[in-house]
A and B are shown apart, each in its own frame.
Chain A
Amino acid sequence: MSIEWIIRIVVEYWPMFLRGAGVTLLIALIGTVFGALIGLLSGVLRTIPMPEKGSKRLLLKVVNLILSAYIEFFRGTPMIVQAMVIFYGAAMAFGYQMDPLIAGIVIVSINTGAYMAEIVRGGIISVDQGQYEAAQAIGMNHVQTMMNVVLPQVIRNILPATGNQFIINIKDTAVLSVISISELFFQTNSIAGNNFRYFESFFVVCIIYFIMTYTVTLILRYIERRMDGPANYVIAGEMDTAEDIKRKTTGA
């Protein structure tokens, strides 16, 4: 019956599942990290105060235009289509077959970058104006202000959204099976094609996807708590002694 088949599939095909899960995690993780870096860079560039005149102003306008085009284009088209266009396009243009794994990482990075650019922009806007002013008043320039004051706060603020993006990437790498990357969905398809047990095979992979995403959620929650630290600060020597606590609780 089904349960037996599920167990058989796990026992028989676990190395394939494991390899697929590894490839999926690899693409999702590297893609999210590169995407976040693209997003941070684009966020810093797009918040440079516009000079009133001169060639710098023109340069900045061109950069902003390119960034907007990039963001709108990659947010506005499906990743599965981007995968086809980039993979087969590169093959046609340069006459060589990209390694599917590399292609997958590139596609996920670029796609994530487009979303992260907007997330980072939101994160930068949400940092209190006073933080910029204080940094400027101390004599910091835009890059120093960003690196030492704003971005560390942005990273904390966008952590939940970045985690979200990471989870989406773990799931959405499934579409990369169209360029025959042997990630988890692709592997499962092969397994099911071998034994014709589609329900059981995909039930197993369903659980594997959930374990991966839920583990990521837990890890991110832990990191957030670590970054926030305790709400109170105790000066050495000012901590309540056992007697203080006893006195307070008994009201004596």
Chain B
Amino acid sequence: MAERRDEKMSTVVDIQGLSKSFGSHEVLKDINFSVNKGEVVTIIGSSGSGKSTLLRCVNLLEKPSGGQIIYNGENILDDKHNVHQYRKNLGMVFQSFNLFNNHNVLGNCVVGQIKVLKRSKEEAEKVAKKYLHVVGMDAYVEAKPRQLSGGQKQRVAIARALSMEPDVMLFDEPTSALDPEMVGEVLKVMKELAGTGLTMLIVTHEMEFAREVSDRVVFMDKGVIAEEGTPEQIFNAPQKDRTKEFLQRTRK
């Protein structure tokens, strides 16, 4: 009982009955789950299971068709709610990095702080350099995105999101577009971040990583949450047949 109450108090984002359709195609059906403060949650599942769509619904890059997203006790899907105000509390890391091509590394980490958070240039640069140091990219402040490797770009993208000092970090398959030898450097940074108590919601295909870093694993299949539990429960003792099948296929 005590644990439950604790959980409720520290929920960062609470998703209730969320659904999403593209035309007549229902991608997400009645999704209920929440992310608690300091928790690392990974979403796994095969391609087309809706896990990326779910993540993109959380920060409204996709507009949900139904349901509620509760943040700070308010349903942010209400018409009156300001989407831009909400989004600055969520950091997003994309599969394809999406660094701003017209800014250098420092500029990428600074522009949002200045324009959205209205921080001063000095403060913004200080914060940006702090997080660029965390991801090990502080030597590249002047570099343009096209001068960087994929792994370096993704680490800058992580620093850019961290510089906004969000309540929760969303990762949308952050290593899927990387060459195999660069996957390690990004996962290492993410593991370090998980160790600092950062709240993280991660969509990934890296099963070993998910097992190692997660507090909770969500398995999605055909637009619903098929199973949810600790990494031990999901990876060592899955209950549902669909989960077992999926894990068997990924193990080989």
Contact = CB atoms under 8 A, between A and B. Distances in A.
Interface of A: 128, 130-131, 133-141, 144, 148-149, 152-153, 156, 229-233, 235-236
The 8 closest A-B pairs by CB, nearest first: A139-B88, A130-B98, A233-B147, A137-B92, A134-B98, A138-B112, A152-B102, A233-B143
A153 B147 CA distance: 16
Given A130-B96, A152-B102, A233-B142, A141 B148 contact: no
Contact of A138 (B87, B96, B102, B148): B87
Interface string B95-137: 0111111110000000110011100000000000000000000
A100 B58 CA distance: 59
B84 A134 contact: no
Contacts of B97: 130
Contact of B101 (A138, A148, A153): A153
Contact of B61 (A136, A144, A235): A136
Q: How large is the interface on B (under 10, 10 to 19, 20 to 34, 35 or more residues)?
A: 35 or more
A149 B143 contact: no
Nearest to A54: B79
Interface string B190-228: 000000000000000000000000000000000000000
B59 to A, nearest CB: 6
B90 A137 contact: yes
A235 B112 contact: no
A137 B112 CA distance: 10
B144 A153 contact: no
Contact of B147 (A134, A141, A232, A236): A232
A245 to B, nearest CB: 21
Given A134-B98, A137-B59, A144 B92 contact: no
A200 B143 CA distance: 54
A149 B100 contact: yes
A137 B61 contact: yes
B100 A137 contact: no
Nearest to A147: B115
Nearest to B101: A153
B147 A139 contact: no
B94 A130 contact: yes
Contacts of A138: 87-88, 92, 112, 116, 160-161, 164
A235 B84 CA distance: 36
B1 interface: no
Contacts of A141: 84
A153 B94 CA distance: 20
Nearest to B147: A233
Contacts of B142: 233
A231 B116 CA distance: 31
B244 interface: no
Contacts of B98: 128, 130-131, 133-134
A144 B147 contact: no
Contact of A134 (B100, B115, B117, B139): B100
A139 B112 contact: yes
B102 A233 contact: no
B71 interface: no
A73 to B, nearest CB: 33
Contacts of B143: 233
Most buried by B among A128, A134, A136: A134
A229 B102 CA distance: 11
Contact of B94 (A134, A140, A144, A231): A134
B33 interface: no
26 contacts: A130-B96, A130-B98, A131-B101, A133-B98, A134-B92, A134-B94, A134-B100, A134-B157, A137-B59, A137-B90, A138-B88, A138-B116, A139-B85, A139-B88, A139-B116, A140-B112, A140-B116, A141-B84, A149-B111, A231-B146, A231-B147, A232-B147, A233-B142, A233-B147, A235-B139, A236-B139
B112 to A, nearest CB: 4
A124 to B, nearest CB: 13
B243 to A, nearest CB: 30
